[in-house]
Structure 1
């Protein structure tokens, strides 16, 4: 029995169960659970952060966030990914959380305040799955922080049983990161014992990558990427596209992503192209004139950051962080407004030079606000405040 547990421990140590993937513009981080040692024999001063959430090999917003953290090179942070669940794991999906729990236990080093467990929470079931792991991390004595990504977090926080479960989980964190002001207000109403900070998602496109093709030189194509469903506003987009074609007969619409059952067989399904990888999303953005995301609810979508990084203007709805996110690099329309959505898309499709001008503004905003230095500085402050909170709690009798 002891030998079997030993083999499990070796297999499930942090790093062995972590995801790893490499892309053209990112340098993969070595996932070493121990601090590196410099030639002079001193320990590496980097903060070690274990990101816990859905498999970064999957497709989705949180998956892209974790993948970006792990793959970029950071000067003062050492990131690892620990999968707590995998959408494609099938029958073995239920084992992911158990493997993650065992990996957290293995990662604990008594007296090491420089290891942080960073939990990526969505809403509802995520607060049961990752929430349980967050509580385990606290029991182990790890510094635990959480970022809330869920588009339905605020609305579901008012319903049973989530209005009880959310505060219970969040109270265990040493710091909480949110993506927009509405989520911050909701969290502050739940708990006053944990500091809450605005922590933006990292930009998934390397600032060093060069945009070779401007929107003006591309065909009149609009690109959507995400879950193909009503929450993402695909039904509104399809209705608006009929009006777009009346004004721009040669326009193309590409809708990429997994299709929800409610959208299968719907009029306009000829535009559905199916799921693609993050690299393929970037490639399609570089071949289009405008990106579109008419969601009914969002936190801070990575797809829009990808569009900004690609130098594309975006047409978005006035939800979550999107209006602030795009700045002058796109157009904001009301949720569910078919006419306004169609007008905004037509505007960019028939005005290629303006599309390039707004795309350039989007790229500039991306480089100024979502560059590695800015993101790392924000993260280090977030983590250091969490460590200070943990030490403050430990010093109290």
Structure 2
């Protein structure tokens, strides 16, 4: 069944929800005032989520028209389980937007999954104020109109701050409506955010049948709120690159910010540039809190399209990411897929990605260590080539779509199974919430 056909199904009547048993705490969902840096990597735009959350918490019985949005992808495989296709509805942000979360979603939408068709419900577009509230409200209405909970899983892409409140509210709505739900965590500072906002985080994660995390740290933090078997550590996946002529280029890709360590990179390059006049540093990304400055042998190119950045990585020899804080940066995985020697800092999930000599790790904020690592990569060609080959091999075995996407799809199937168990338990004989047969 195609997505268009699925969208034309008659809506199913959702069983009444006992909100006390739904395990939602309204007080935990107050809006989170966050200052936006203007880049997706911060995921910090503020939005008034109270109307959305209030509606999510008061829905008790719905029988509404199905979602009639156009499908994002219409793969027509035959499901391994039944002849009828499943649907994964992704809630968040996609498109040509800087930031790892959008690229993860874009990768899903471009892939042909075996058992699932995909839809996208945008809940934000980078705007603020009334426009942002309108986008979120539109997502809320689309989830209200969503039908067929037995075959549909809702995947909310969450970061810390305002994103967690907004997309978390939409996840709660899907849960209350009886859909299978997956919370996919992207934020680089999720563990810290969970410590400061435990009620909010706990209320959202308890609405998820499966929680996907990118790092061991996030996995541990999420497991404090829900049973450990519901939390799954799955890496991001990236598309393959193509072979181009390699040049003496070092590439940084990301927000030009202190969090990404651009100040440390600039300090190190000022020392390196006079020694390596045949090498060039390219800093690509939107300007955040680090001003650009004239830099010998270097160029600030501003934000690039994703395709342009990938083409640059296909030509570069070295990729550098001296961040002070990360979860699992897509830029590093994309550089590995394009056979770069990767130099990065020991933060978040990066050490696990670059373990076993796959890349070069330095401590965050250490100019001397970053300078030494880049110097060796630029001067020792056999060593650099070995690192690049190891990175490419690690990509193929662990971070390619072929390696990761079957695991992602299994998590969606698991969510559907747990939703079925949840409904069966709720309506078995003797249950105090049993009001009608499902």
The interval holding the TM-score normalised by the smaller chain is 0.7 to 0.9
Instruction: Choose which of 106, 124, 130 in structure 1 pairs with 2:167.
Output: 130
Matches within 5 A, 1:17-56: 29-30=73-74, 44-56=83-95
Which runs of structure 2 are paired with 1:150-169 in the superposition (5 Å)? 150-159=187-196, 162-169=197-204
Cα drift, residue 51 of structure 1 = 1.2
Deviations 1:101-150 (A, max 9, x none): 112222222xx422111111010111111011001111211111011110
Task: Indicate yes or no: 2:298 matched with 1:263.
Answer: no
- Contact 1:74 1:372 (8 Å CA) reproduced: no
Kept in 2: contact 1:56–1:81 (CA 8 A): no
Output the TM-score relative to the length of structure 2: 0.76
1:86-113 CA-partner distances (Å, limit 9, x unpaired)? 115785222111111112222222xx42
* Distance 1:89-1:280 versus aligned 2 partners, 3 A rule: farther
Task: Give 1:289 shift.
Answer: 1.2
2:156 counterpart SS class: strand
Contact 1:333 1:340 in 2 (8 A): yes
The aligned residue for residue 372 of structure 1 is 401
Asked if the contact 1:37–1:43 (Cα under 8 Å) also holds between the matched residues in 2, the reply is no
Within-5 A mapping of 1:7-22: 13=67, 15-16=69-70
Distance 1:276 1:362 in 2: 24
Match of 1:350 among 379, 385, 391: 379
Q: Distance in 1 between matches of 2:121 and 2:134?
A: 13
- 1:147 is matched with 184
TM-score normalised according to structure 1 size: 0.83
Q: Within 5 A, what are the aligned runs for 1:1-397?
A: 13=67, 15-16=69-70, 29-30=73-74, 44-88=83-127, 92-109=131-148, 112-159=149-196, 162-192=197-227, 195-203=230-238, 205-206=239-240, 209-213=241-245, 217-219=246-248, 221-260=249-288, 262-265=289-292, 268=295, 271-327=299-355, 328-396=357-425, 397=431
* Cα deviations by residue, 1:286-344 (Å, 9 ceiling, x for unpaired): 12110011111111111111101111111111111112213433201111111111111
Unaligned stretches of 5+ in structure 2? 1-63, 426-430, 432-438
Q: Is the 8 A contact 1:317 1:334 kept in 2?
A: yes
Say if 1:388 and 1:395 are closer, same or farther in 2 by CA, change over 3 A: same
Larger mean CA deviation between 99-108 and 296-305 belongs to 99-108
Alpha-carbon contact 1:295-1:317 (below 8 Å) kept: yes
**Aligned in 2, Cα 1:390/1:75: closer, same or farther, shift over 3 Å?**
closer
CA RMSD of aligned residues (A): 2.5
Distance change >3 Å, CA 97–CA 66, structure 1 → 2: same
TM-superposed CA distance for 1:235, in Å, is 1.0
Q: Partners in 2 of 1:384 and 1:345 — Cα distance?
A: 44
